[in-house]
Structure 1
Amino acid sequence: MSLAILIWVSHDSDRFGNRIDLRKTRFNKDKGSCQPKTNIFFLKTHKTASSTIVNILFRYGEFHNLTFALPVQSIDFALPSPFSATKVNGFTESGKKTFNIMCHHMRFMLPEVQKVMPYDTFYFTVLRNPIYQMESSFSYFKNQEPFAKAANLEDFLNNTSKYYDVKMAYSHMAKNFMTFDLGFDHNGLDSIKNVKLIQGTVEIIFDLVLITEYFDESLILLKEALCWSFDDVLSFPLNRRSNTTMKTLTLQIQENIKKWNSLDWQLYVHFNNSFWKRVDEFGMERMQREVTILQRKRTEIEKMCLQGEVAPNQLEDKSMMPYQSGIAAILGYNLKPETTYQVLCQRLVTPVIQYSSLLRLKQIRNQTKLNLK
C-alpha cells in the first residue's frame, strides 16, 4: 500500500467503515422529515471558491451559536504539515470540548479530524477544473517557489525540471494541489491502481463533493444534504480576482496543465461525473427551479446590501480588505450605508481572515462567561 493511501487508512478500521453507515438518504422530499445538520467538516481546498463556502458556514455557525474548531495560530492548520488535532485551539485528548464546525485550510488526515469532530459529522469538500485552479494558483502564489522564477505559467509548464523540486516546502502549490489538500501524495504515481484507490477513498470519506464550475447547483445539493434553507446558503463570491489578472490559456497550455496535474485531473473528472449523477437523482427540473430561486434571492440581497464589487484601492472600509497575494488583485465589496440588514450585509462580505478573528473573539468571550458561572 502506498504512502498516499496510508495517510487515509492508518487508523481504526471500525471508525473508517462506519463513515458509510452514517450516510442517510441523500435527498429529502419533505423538509419536515429531516433535522438540520450542525456537525460539519468542510475540507477547504485551495483556489476552488472555498472561501465563499466557508463564509456560508461561518454565518450559519455564528447565527446558531455553534462552536468552531479554529487553528491555534494563523488561519490554517499548520500547512503544509498533515493535520494534527493538537493544532485546534482548545482541543484536549479527553474530548471535553465539543466542536461543531471545522472548515479552515489543512492537509486532510482523517484519524486526526475524527479526534476533534463528533461521530455523526457531515463531511464535504469542493473540487475545481485543474486547468483554472492552476492558473489561479500561479497568479496567487507567484511570489513563492516553485513559481517565483518562472516568467509565466507557460514558461513554468515548459520547464518544470528547472523550476520544480519535490523537496521544496511548497511544491504542492504547483502540482496536484487538490490531491495534496485531500491528504495524498501530490507527486504520487498516476497509475490506474493508485488513481482508483484515491477516488474510492474520497468517496467513502466525503458525503458530498461540490464542483466549483457548477456553484449554484452545488449549493442546492449542499442545502438539501444539510437540511438547510435557501437563506442559509446565500452568498456573494469572496476572494475573487480582478479580470485584469486572469490569463487566457491556449489549448496547448490547457493540455500541459492536465498532464502535469494528472492526479487532480482524473479526480476532477471522476467527481464531476458523480456530481451530475447526484443532480439526476435530485431531479433536473427540480434543480433548475431551485437554482432560479437561489439566484433570485441573491439578487434581492445584492440590491439591499451592495454598492458593488471593487478593486482593492477602491475599497471604502479598509478593515474589510481581502488578503492580497502574488500578482492577483483580490476584489472586495463596498456596502450601502445604513442598510436595514447591516450585520447580515457585513457578514456576507467579510473575508475569511477577519471573520475568523471575529469568531475567535466570540468563542473566547463565551468560554470566559462559562468559566465565571
Structure 2
Amino acid sequence: MNILFRFGESRNLTFALPSSNYTQFFYPNYFKAYFVEDFLMKIWPNYDIMCHHMRFKLTEVEKVMPNDTFYFTIMRNPVSLMESSFSYYKNLDVFVNAYSLEDYLNNSYKYYKQTNINHSYGKNLMAFDLGLEQNERESPKHFKLARKAIDTMFNLVLITEYFDESLILLKDALCWGFDDVLSFPLNFRNDTSRNVLTEETQEKIRTWNQLDWQLYIYFNNSLWEKVDKFGRDRMQNEVQELQRRRSTLSEICLQGQIDPTKIKDKFLRPFQAGISRILGYDLKPGLQKSERLRCHRLVTPELQYSSLLSNKQNQQKNNITIISPKIHINGQKSGQRAP
C-alpha cells in the first residue's frame, strides 16, 4: 500500500478511498461500488488507484475502476499467515477461547463457527479476501476452479516470501522504475510474539487451510514461471539492484526499527489493533527537506497515509464546481494511471 500511496501522491492521481473515513472497504462484507467516497456523487471523472483492504468482488470493482485497470494481489504461505493471524487476533471471537494455535487446530469444530463475526480469520483467509467461499467442499475440481478464477481476475499475483522478485515483476509489468517499488518493511511484528511451529502443526495448518494452500502452491509456481520468462540472471541482477538501493536509502533515512512507544514523531507510530506489538521507525536527524519528506513518506503507516490522501482529495474537491447535470473540473490532472 505504501508503494501505491507514494506513486499516486507524487503524480497527483485519484484514489478510490473508503467512504466515511473508514480504513477499509467495510470488510468483511463483499465490496460494493458505493463504499467508495464520492462515487455516487460522481465528482471524479475517473479513479486511478484502489488499494485499501476489501473482500474482493470484481463486478463491483469494475463499476469504479477504468476498463484498462491492472489488477494484482499478493499471497502468503498459509502456515506463516495462520500463525500471524492467531497471534495478532487472539482476542477476536474466532480465536479467543482457544488456549493455543495447536488447541485451535485440534478442536476447530469447537472454536470455528461461520456465525463468528470474525470467522474469516479462522480458515482460508486468502480465499475469503479474494471473494471465494472458504468452506466449500474440497475436491480437485473445486481447487482447479478457484485457481482459474483468480488467474482470470488478476494480471499478477505477488508472493510475500519472494517479495523482491515480485516487485521486479510488478515494475516490469507496469513499466515503472526501481524508485517506484522501493520500500521498507512495514506492519512488522516484534520477535517475541512469533511462535516456532512444529512440522506437525504446520501440516495441520496446511490441511485446515487446504484451499489457501492449493492457491499458494499454484501461484508460487506461476511466479517462478514468470521469472523464467523474465530471465533468471536478469532477475538476480535487478533484485540485487533493488536491495542495494533499499540499503542505501535505509542508511540515509532510518535510525532503526523500534518499539512504537519509543518513536519520537507520534505521526509515525503504527496503529496497534491486535495483541502483538507492531514496530515502526525513527528518522535520522538533520535530513535535508526533500530527503526528509521522502523518508517520512516511506515509513508513514497506513492509517496516517490514508488520512493524508483523504485530506488532499477533499481540498481538491473545493476546486470542483458542480453545475447540474454537468461536472466542471478546474485545472487538469495527470492522465497517468496506476493499478
Residue aligned with 2:71, SS: strand
Tell me, yes or no, if the aligned pair for 2:16 and 2:47 is still in contact at 8 Å.
yes
Of residues 295, 307, 318, the one that matches 2:255 is 307
Q: Which string of whole-angstrom CA distances, capped at 9 and with x for unpartnered residues, describes residues 56-103 of structure 1?
A: 000000000000000003111111110000000010386863100000
Residue 352 (str. 1) matches residue 299 (str. 2): no
What is the identity, as a one-letter code, of the residue corresponding to 2:14? T
How much is the aligned-residue C-alpha RMSD, in angstroms? 1.3
**In structure 1, what is the Cα distance between the partners aligned to 2:275 and 2:89?**
8
2:190 aligned partner: 242
The residue aligned with 1:31 is none
Show structure 1 runs of 4+ deviating over 6 A.
none
- Correspondence for 1:259 among 207, 218, 225: 207
The answer to whether structure 1 residue 106 and structure 2 residue 61 are counterparts is no
Residue of structure 2 in register with 1:162 after alignment: 110
In structure 2, distance between residues paired with 1:102 and 1:189: 32
Q: Which residue of 2 aligns with 1:55?
A: 2
Question: Contact 1:211–1:275 (CA<8 Å) still a contact in 2?
Answer: yes
Measured in 2, the distance between the counterparts of 1:262 and 1:153 equals 17
1:365 correspondence with 2:315:
yes
SS in 2 for 1:125: strand
Q: Is 1:124 aligned with 2:72?
A: yes
Q: How does 1:137-216 map to 2 (within 5 A)?
A: 137-216=85-164
CA apart distance, 1:339: 1.1
2: distance between equivalents of 1:174 and 1:322?
24
Please state if 1:75 is matched with 2:23: yes
Residues 343 and 96 of structure 1: is their aligned pair in 2 closer, same or farther, counting only changes over 3 Å?
Answer: closer
Aligned to 1:316: 264
Worse-superposed segment, 137-146 or 110-119: 137-146
- Deviation at residue 326 of structure 1 after TM alignment: 2.5
User: Is the alpha carbon distance of 1:94 and 1:352 closer, same or farther for their aligned partners in structure 2, counting shifts above 3 Å?
Assistant: closer
Q: In structure 1, how many angstroms separate the alpha carbons of the residues matched to 2:180 and 2:272?
A: 28
- Evaluate the alpha carbon distance shift between residue 95 and residue 205 of structure 1 in structure 2; reply closer, same or farther with a 3 A threshold: farther
Query: Once the 2 structures are TM-superposed, how far is the Cα of residue 323 of structure 1 from its aligned partner?
Result: 1.5
Identity %: 54
Deviation per CA, 1:102-142, whole angstroms, max 9, x where unpaired? Answer: 00000000010000000000000000000001111111211
User: How far off its partner does 1:170 sit?
Assistant: 1.1
Distance, in Å, in 1 between the alignment partners of 2:68 and 2:236 is 30
Q: Report the alpha carbon displacement of residue 193 of structure 1 after superposing the two structures with TM.
A: 1.3
**CA displacement at 1:273 relative to structure 2:** 0.5
Contact 2:138 2:211 in 1 (8 A): yes
Structure 1 175/246 Cα, relative in aligned 2: closer, same or farther at 3 Å?
A: same
CA contact (8 A) 1:91 1:97 kept: no
8 Å CA contact 1:95–1:116 kept in 2: the answer is: no
Aligned to 1:136, the other structure's residue is in SS state helix
The gaps in structure 2 that reach 5 residues or longer are 322-328, 331-339
Tell me if structure 1 keeps the 8 A contact 2:16–2:36: yes
Amino acid paired to 2:11: H
Alignment gaps of 5+ in structure 1 = 1-53
The offset of 1:338, in angstroms, is 3.1
Pairs aligned (count):
320
Counterparts in 2 of 1:118 and 1:150: CA distance versus 1, 3 Å: same
- The farther-off stretch of 108-117 and 90-99 is 90-99
**Partner residue, 1:49:** none
- Give the secondary structure class of the aligned counterpart of 1:331: strand
Asked if the contact 1:190–1:263 (Cα under 8 Å) also holds between the matched residues in 2, the reply is: yes
Question: Is the alpha carbon distance of 1:366 and 1:94 closer, same or farther for their aligned partners in structure 2, counting shifts above 3 Å?
Answer: closer
Counterpart position of 2:222 = 274
